[in-house]
Structure 1
Amino acid sequence: MTTTSTAAAPTADWVDPAALMIDPYPTYRRLRDECPVAWVPALSRYLVTSFAGCRAIEEDQETFSAAVSGGGATMARALGAQPMLRKDDPEHAHERGAINPALRPKTLRERWAPVFERNARTHLEVLRERGPDDADLNRDYAAPVASQNLVDLLGLKGTHVEDMRRWSHAFIAGTGNLLDDPGIWRRCDAARDEVDALLGELLPHLREHPDGSITSALVHSGLPLAQVSANVKLTIAGGMNEPQHMVTNVVWALSRHPDQRELVLGDPTRWPAVFDEAVRWLSPIGMYPRETTRETVLRDVLLPTGAPVGVVVGAANRDTTVFEHAESFDITRPRRPHLGFGSGTHLCAGHWAARIAIGEIAVPLLYTELPSLRTDPRRSESWDGWVFRGLTALPVTWSG
């Protein structure tokens, strides 16, 4: 990663956090074109927006540590302790190893796919009952399906889908609270207290009565209870919002590309490609942090020791040097690895759960039952976020 021609990072003092929240992609394009490794004063961190730069970071955890410190460690602040996602190997591998068996494709298909389908069918009926003039895909289907799937995977029996959704949103907002908004912290702290109270009763029970859930696997991993709790809350944060947003993202994308919608409706074997392209094009995880452990050079830019770095995979996934017509949604494009689920050591542990629960079950079921499903232009949709980004409201309609 060294080179004979290096320079200090350029300063991108024009980056506006408010603009990122509304639509980050114009900012991403300009950063990639002008300064793919840049210091952004408004965010107090270096943003890396090229595919090559983001991939290089993930391939070198000795230099770019996930164990971010200081004011940038919003995830530890949100969840009460550093979860596995904010650790490097061997600690990360030890904690990750506890849940990997529960999230393997074979286990997911045999044990959990029937649960995922049951949950999808239950909430599809709620969507139908709302009717084509009032249905909101996020409110009535995507969020409750993702929430109930997560309740079941974690073994949090009796938890209401609305509580799971509220906790997840609070943890996500806290993790992305780079501007230290006190209102966000109040909601996050309240959610953490509620989940801690629930786990205070559940974890001792699971120690005596294992049940095959992710929480049970963590309890029996030998980890301290504080780390079990932090990793459960990590799963609540990432395990709901990303699947939820992928349901709405796919429907939003297909509604704007009716030719591609007809293509997949005529050939259901294309659903995995639809899911994968939507993850690339509308990455629900837009950015995650790293911190340099030593002075280093990244793409000809000198970074100091302890530099807070934002790995902007939402930008990298539209890098035109890697993906032809990268700004376009195209389910027929040749398959190439993207960074929508991260890569390397920290590849998202739940990526197969999302692929199966959403890409193979929840979204195809929608179009099987409601083939004319589309977004409803008569009512307003709403996007939010850039660290984590998704539709918070998506009115939909159908005929017949």
Structure 2
Amino acid sequence: MTFDPLSPEVRENPYPFYADMRVNDPVSFCPTVNTWAVTRHEDVKHVLKNHQLFSSDPLIQIAFGEFNPAPGAPYLLSSDPPEHSRLRKLVATAFSKKFVDSIAASIEKMINELLDETSPKDGFDLMDALASPLPVTVIADVMGIDASMGPTFRRWSNQVTVGVNQTISTEERAAIQQDAREFRAYFIDRIAAARRNPGSDIISALVRQEEGAVLTPDEVMAMCVLLLIAGNETTTSTLGNAILLLTQHPDQRKLVLQDPSLTPALVEEVLRFISPIQMLFRRATEDVVINGVSLPKDTIVMPVYASANRDEAVFERADQFDVTRGDISQHMAFGHGIHFCVGQALGRHEATVALRILLRRMPQIACDFSSLQWNDSFYLRGPKHLRVAAA
């Protein structure tokens, strides 16, 4: 099987391709994206934990390409120590468990309000009604920006994460470029407002670091863009993927309905089984060998998180969706090493509470699979649209 992450066959279902590569070609070249895919759990972990050998610097260029709203600025995701250590320290405490606990009641209120606006009997688009607006609303509140901008933020996020190698038309390219310019312009204005009238939000905190010469203006911009995008992509996809899987596996839904305390385990198994971030990118800083394959310095390496999370050498019955699986702490849905997702506690909490409430209100939720559209980015996986109704 030839693995091309841009092909319709892979976009429809990449997992048979991952399984084939793990057995027959665990470190394989992908010409359409000019990278080497690394698919076994052990090798993915090796790449992610050895940041000295595998730099993160190509990540934003590949992920955003020409549509980067903050070009030239070092992003947290694509920086290496010591820059990475400095940037991560500035936001780590903002997404601690203590912080998540402090906004838990607000998150639950948001979920119920969003679901109150739906019509379970007639059906609604899960992504538009809940999965997309929830994390965007939460992160907007944390950043001190107008929640009514949520749909616009979601569009900007979807557009700029299309990726450098995605095949798009001239018209689509122009529309994405316009969105990237609007994305940047919005935060230029918002950061300027925080300088004039600082508050208790994250943007104001970043501006104070800028004024203290800890951050540059471009770094403040990049951090704002990253927080908004990273603050919604994983949770949005996890919610959509969870409802898809529960509909496809009624025995697992029955278990969670009978015992809601399984909901956190459900979230972890969804993250493992359909990883929202399928793969990311690294650059070899010197000549390296991965699983017997020699790669020269500056080779772009693509650790495939989604494949590692289905590796039979680590996860028994890896292709079986099982909410009672037990300890699956070795899954890599949030990465590994120094780039382990700084917002994972918030994302896990949002998904757990949203699924618990949704299943309580719609225990026999059903999906209209004809409405399913996967998102546009080749390195992300989750529904773009999915209609559901109370069965």
TM more than 0.5:
yes
CA offsets, 1:293-327, max 9 Å, x none? 10011121111000011111011111111111111
Of 128, 131, 135, the residue aligned with 1:142 is 131
Give the drift of 1:76.
7.7
Match of 1:196 in 2: 184
CA distance in 1, matches of 2:113, 2:84: 36
CA distance in 2, matches of 1:149, 1:90: 30
Of 263, 277, 280, the residue aligned with 1:288 is 280
Note if 1:21 corresponds to 2:11.
Answer: yes
Give the drift of 1:108.
1.2
**Are 2:256 and 2:263, in contact at CA under 8 Å, matched by a contact in 1?**
yes
Note if 1:157 corresponds to 2:157.
Answer: no
Give the drift of 1:189.
2.5
Distance 1:13 1:29, change over 3 A: closer
Q: Is 324-333 or 66-75 further displaced after alignment?
A: 66-75
CA offsets, 1:32-74, max 9 Å, x none? 1111111121221111111111100111101100012897474
Distance 1:376 1:68, change over 3 A: closer
CA distance in 2, matches of 1:70, 1:29: 27
Note if 1:356 corresponds to 2:344.
Answer: no
Distance 1:362 1:95, change over 3 A: same
Note if 1:32 corresponds to 2:22.
Answer: yes
Q: Is 63-72 or 46-55 further displaced after alignment?
A: 63-72
Of 67, 83, 92, the residue aligned with 1:91 is 83
Give the drift of 1:279.
0.4
CA distance in 2, matches of 1:70, 1:160: 24
Note if 1:307 corresponds to 2:296.
Answer: no
**Are 1:126 and 1:141, in contact at CA under 8 Å, matched by a contact in 2?**
no
CA distance in 1, matches of 2:149, 2:124: 21
Structure 2 unaligned residues grouped into runs of 5+: none
Letter in 2 for 1:296: V
Letter in 2 for 1:211: G
Match of 1:388 in 2: 380
Match of 2:332 in 1: 339
**Are 1:151 and 1:159, in contact at CA under 8 Å, matched by a contact in 2?**
no
CA offsets, 1:79-103, max 9 Å, x none? 3233110001110111111111110
Q: CA RMSD in A?
A: 2.1
Match of 1:178 in 2: 165
Note if 1:125 corresponds to 2:112.
Answer: no
Of 308, 319, 324, the residue aligned with 2:311 is 319
The alignment covers a number of residue pairs equal to 381
Letter in 1 for 2:117: V
CA distance in 1, matches of 2:33, 2:88: 30
Distance 1:319 1:349, change over 3 A: same
CA distance in 2, matches of 1:67, 1:276: 29
CA distance in 2, matches of 1:324, 1:154: 41
Identity of counterpart residues, as a percentage? 28
Distance 1:71 1:144, change over 3 A: closer
Distance 1:293 1:271, change over 3 A: same
CA distance in 2, matches of 1:191, 1:135: 27
CA distance in 1, matches of 2:173, 2:341: 25
CA distance in 2, matches of 1:184, 1:316: 33
CA distance in 1, matches of 2:110, 2:76: 28
CA distance in 2, matches of 1:318, 1:41: 24
Structure 1 unaligned residues grouped into runs of 5+: 1-11
**What TM-score, normalized by structure 2, do the two folds share?**
0.91
**What TM-score, normalized by structure 1, do the two folds share?**
0.89
Q: Is 189-198 or 65-74 further displaced after alignment?
A: 65-74
CA distance in 2, matches of 1:306, 1:70: 16
Of 76, 89, 100, the residue aligned with 2:92 is 100
CA distance in 2, matches of 1:92, 1:186: 32
